[in-house]
Amino acid sequence: MRSRSCLQTIMNKQLFILVSFFLILLAACSNTAPVAESAGTETESLTAVSSPTAIAITETSTSDVMVVDEAGNTAVDPTALDNALAEINATGLTADEQDNLIYMREEEKLAHDVYMTLYTQWNLPIFQNIANSEATHTEAIRTLLLRYGLEDPAVNQGLGSFTNETLQALYEQLVAAGSQSLADALTVGATIEDLDIVDLQDSLAQTDKADISLVYENLMKGSRNHLRAFTNTLQQQTGGTYQPQYLDQATYEAIIASEVERGRGQGQGGPPADRPGKGQGNG
């Protein structure tokens, strides 16, 4: 009886193993097609991601809107900007976003106007070259104003004329200071870029719009390049050294120590310092 029971147990185990093997084999056969299909999809996906053409198109459409020459003059390419903005939906703006765009339109114009005025006085090419770049910067902000249907404060405003009273007073003060000597003129150039970086950074922190952020980031890259150019020229032409007035010292030194930027602008700079910003007196 015991032998029969043992034999039966052995047979049952063998039957169990046979059935289990059959079920495993059946399951493996049924999964073969989906696995092959999945592998094919993954291969196609990797091919698309690794395509240099696809990557180049993406970079051009989202960030490549600046043209930088060997001297660091950084101008906005209007065609590249239009192409980049065409891929971004325009959504409703907050009051801060509207105010900042309107203010930045004239602040970029201020840079252009001061540099053109100082070029007339000192006939130093850096002022004309960077003024030409600043003209494209203020036009980039104008593009955003038109995109969002905002009133342009610079319409019918000639050289040295501003709707914003704070910027009007600042223009007059900077031109007066830059008229004292070449060293003072170059210091004024560095001061404008110093202030511009901080104001752009402040405005960038108050928006979540991809199109506005793209423009602000690229303009900050331009301002950092121009700050490097003015401080280098100040040292070469006069032996002078610029002391930052709005950026913190560590951030300023990091900017000056780095090379001319040619890729997408990465926001740099510390927290906004006290400055003649929106609605503030010049002090």
CA distance 72 to 221: 10
* Cβ within 8 Å of residue 281, ≥6 positions away: 166, 169
Question: For position 278, what pLDDT does the model report?
Answer: 58
Three-state DSSP class for residue 76? strand
Is-contact 247 199, C-beta < 8 A?
Answer: no
CA distance 223 to 260: 11
Tokens of 200: 């752009």
User: Where along the chain do its domains lie?
Assistant: 58-257
Model confidence pLDDT, tens digit, residues 224-254: 999 999 999 999 999 999 999 999 999 999 9
Distances (CA, A) of 12 to 3, 5, 17: 14, 10, 9
CATH superfamily of 58-257: Ferritin, core subunit, four-helix bundle (1.20.1260.10)
Is-contact 131 143, C-beta < 8 A?
Answer: no
CA distance 211 to 145: 12
Model confidence pLDDT, tens digit, residues 43-85: 233 222 222 222 222 233 336 799 998 888 999 999 999 999 9
* Cβ within 8 Å of residue 205, ≥6 positions away: none
Model confidence pLDDT, tens digit, residues 92-143: 999 999 999 999 999 999 999 999 999 999 999 999 999 999 999 999 999 9
Question: For position 103, what pLDDT does the model report?
Answer: 98
User: What angle do the packed helices 95-122 and 165-178 form, to 10 degrees?
Assistant: 20
* Cβ within 8 Å of residue 133, ≥6 positions away: 73, 74, 75, 222, 226
Question: For position 276, what pLDDT does the model report?
Answer: 58
Question: For position 19, what pLDDT does the model report?
Answer: 44
